């Protein structure tokens, strides 16, 4: 079966466990380990929202640590390029869970209104719609999205 493989499936930073030995790579990955009823461990990371793997043994766990670095790097690169990370776009927002909650950029500047979010926290979806930091999805032609895009253009130097 031929198909388009995800970038994370084809990226192999020299087979090392941990961060890739090149500049501008993710250096820290936060992992969440959960014990499932079957006795397996479920590994996930808030840095790669939507990514999760189950492991059977400690050897599998070591391999998954490397995969976590790769997924975190792919998610980071997508954010840097202003694109949606593919697993993030497919994962529904659930504010009660820290792993599926909408992501927000830390911004410590005072704002005039409490309902104003950082425009970089809005995620473009593959179908052209945009997801707000609160998890709602807006069409590309809505006023909210137009205002967010205008703020993004103003905040980025040419």
Please write the tens of the pLDDT for every residue from 9-55.
655 544 555 666 666 778 888 898 989 889 899 998 888 878 889 99
Q: Using 50, 70 and 90 to split pLDDT, how confident is the model at 110?
A: very low
Question: Looking at the whole model, is its pTM more than 0.85?
Answer: no
C-alpha radius of gyration, the chain, whole number = 18
Q: Using 50, 70 and 90 to split pLDDT, how confident is the model at 58?
A: confident
Q: Determine how β-strand 52-55 pairs with β-strand 130-131.
A: unpaired
What is the average per-residue pLDDT within 76-97? 71
Q: Over 70: is that where the pLDDT of 92 sits?
A: no
pLDDT of residue 3: 72
Q: Over 60: is that where the pLDDT of 138 sits?
A: yes
Place of tokens 């993710």: 26
Place of tokens 């999760």: 52
Stated as kind and residue range, the H or E segment containing 66 is: helix 58-80
What is the average per-residue pLDDT within 71-80? 82
pLDDT of residue 108: 44
pLDDT of residue 141: 92
* CA dist 146 → 14, 67, 94 (Å): 42, 36, 25
Q: Are 29 and 47 in contact (CB under 8 A)?
A: yes
DSSP 3-state of 104: coil
Q: Over 70: is that where the pLDDT of 95 sits?
A: no
Q: What is the mean pLDDT of the chain?
A: 76
pLDDT of residue 125: 84
């Amino acid at each position: 079966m031929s198909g388009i493989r995800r970038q994370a499936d084809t990226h192999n930073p020299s087979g090392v466990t941990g961060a890739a030995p090149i500049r501008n790579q993710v250096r820290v990955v936060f992992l969440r380990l959960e014990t499932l009823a079957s006795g397996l461990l479920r590994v996930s990371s808030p840095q790669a929202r939507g990514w999760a793997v189950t492991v059977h043994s400690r050897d599998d766990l070591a391999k998954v640590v490397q995969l976590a670095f790769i997924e975190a790097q792919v998610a980071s690169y997508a954010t840097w390029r202003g694109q949606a990370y593919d697993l993030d776009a497919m994962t529904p927002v659930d504010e009660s869970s820290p792993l599926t909650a909408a992501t927000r950029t830390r911004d410590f500047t005072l704002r005039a209104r409490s309902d104003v979010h950082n425009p970089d926290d809005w995620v473009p979806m593959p179908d052209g719609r945009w997801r707000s930091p609160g998890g709602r999805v807006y069409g590309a032609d809505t006023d909210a999205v137009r205002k967010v895009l205008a703020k993004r253009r103003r905040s980025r130097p040419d």
